[in-house]
Amino acid sequence: METPFVEQQEADAALIDEVRTGLQQVPKRLSSRFFYDAEGSRIFAEIMHTPDYYLTRSEYEILDTQKADLLQLFAPDKRPFELVELGAGDGLKTKILLGFLADQQADFTYAPVDISGDALDKLVDDVQKQWPDLLLNARHDDYFNALEQLSEESDARRIVLFLGSNIGNFAPDEAIDFYRQLYDRLQPGDLVLTGFDLQKHPAIIHAAYNDRMGLTRAFNLNLLRRINTELDADFNLAAFDHYETYNPESGEARSYLVSQKAQMVRINALDMAVPFEYGEIIHTEISRKFTRTQIEELARQTGFSVTGWFTDCKGYFADVMFER
């Protein structure tokens, strides 16, 4: 999976803060960055293989069928480059690229960055086993710290990968801030390849977040189970439901948890009692879908030029190259 956003040791303080403030807001909210404990990451890995969740398959197809064109953009002159992957997770899709780059004897270092040490250790282990000669420079760090350190260490061209539609989980102003921060840390000529989920028939998007196997439901409810375990709370999971909306005007898929009855939930670690009315929601996730115009505008607003546009055969997903 991509991007387990919160490191375990820090999770408690961050989770405490989120639960304390988020459950006192109107409407209540909890951020999807807390989905990814071990169980949440396991469920997400399953979601990526379900027929309804087309995103992973679409991006896999893009990388697989267009890897030669990507390499041409990464290293047109066969100069060495550093492939920095933000939120590398298990690197499932990146391994297609790594295998190809290794076969082509491309001169590159792979620098996966992840804030989850466990995910990163596993990825490093896998990559070393599969390609013992590949140069690896893994960073267990925050994205921007890692980029700063990498630029101090080498002046190779940097190619930053931010795959899997992780950008869709950012609010619009956070996305702008993210690319501005990247811009400040990159050199002219460096590249960023981002996976964007594109707007399409709303029913297809809605189904991806409301899958027939009920995995998205389990993924969303797992957040309550996590709070029960880590903060000694008594959420009754059977008394909450998963609800998904997709608004084709805003391009936002939104996930909610819905209280199925009036109830009081105790969160003992915070000495807090949270009342829920019948039908009251907790907003947990935004997964934004983009138009080509919006992506081009995002590049323009943050100083990048769009220099490559790769889509799957259905036009569901795009891996877009921004050049600094």
Question: Measured between alpha carbons, how far is 126 from 136 in angstroms, rounded to an integer?
Answer: 12
How many Cα atoms are found within 13 Å in the side-chain-facing hemisphere of 141?
A: 15
CA nearest to 99, candidates 127, 73, 122: 127
For ligand AVI, which is the closer residue by CB, 222 or 302? 222
CB of 166 to ligand AVI, least distance (A): 5
* Out of 31, 94, 165, 311, the residue judged to bind ligand AVI by CB under 6 A: 165
Strand-pairing partners, residue 82, are 109, 158
- Binding string, residues 167-206; x marks residues near ligand AVI by CB under 6 A: -xx-------------------------------------
List strand residue ranges (DSSP E) for the chain, in order: 28-29, 81-86, 108-114, 135-136, 139-140, 157-162, 191-197, 240-247, 252-259, 263-267, 272-276, 281-288, 305-311, 317-323
> Pairing between strand 191-197 and 317-323?
antiparallel
Question: Measured between alpha carbons, how far is 296 from 276 in angstroms, rounded to an integer?
Answer: 42
For ligand AVI, which is the closer residue by CB, 254 or 324? 254
CB of 211 to ligand AVI, least distance (A): 8
Q: Is 287 in the site for ligand AVI (CB under 6 A)?
A: yes
For ligand AVI, which is the closer residue by CB, 116 or 216? 216
* Out of 47, 62, 119, 224, the residue judged to bind ligand AVI by CB under 6 A: 47
Using alpha carbons, list the distances in angstroms from residue 103 to 22, 126, 131, 202: 49, 17, 10, 40
Which residue lies nearest ligand AVI, judged by its C-beta?
287
Q: Is-contact 179 109, C-beta < 8 A?
A: no
Q: Quick one: how many helices (H) and strands (E) in the chain?
A: 11, 14
Q: Kindly identify the residues of this chain, within the stretch 256-285, that bind ligand AVI according to CB under 6 A.
A: 285
For ligand AVI, which is the closer residue by CB, 20 or 42? 42
CB of 316 to ligand AVI, least distance (A): 12
CA nearest to 229, candidates 237, 239, 238: 237
Q: Is 216 in the site for ligand AVI (CB under 6 A)?
A: yes
Q: Is 94 in the site for ligand AVI (CB under 6 A)?
A: no
For ligand AVI, which is the closer residue by CB, 1 or 182? 1
CB of 78 to ligand AVI, least distance (A): 33
Q: Is-contact 89 126, C-beta < 8 A?
A: no
Stretch that binds ligand AVI, among 20-28, 74-82, 166-174, 297-305 (CB under 6 A): 166-174
Residues binding ligand AVI (CB under 6 A): 2, 47, 55, 164-166, 168-169, 209, 216, 219, 285, 287
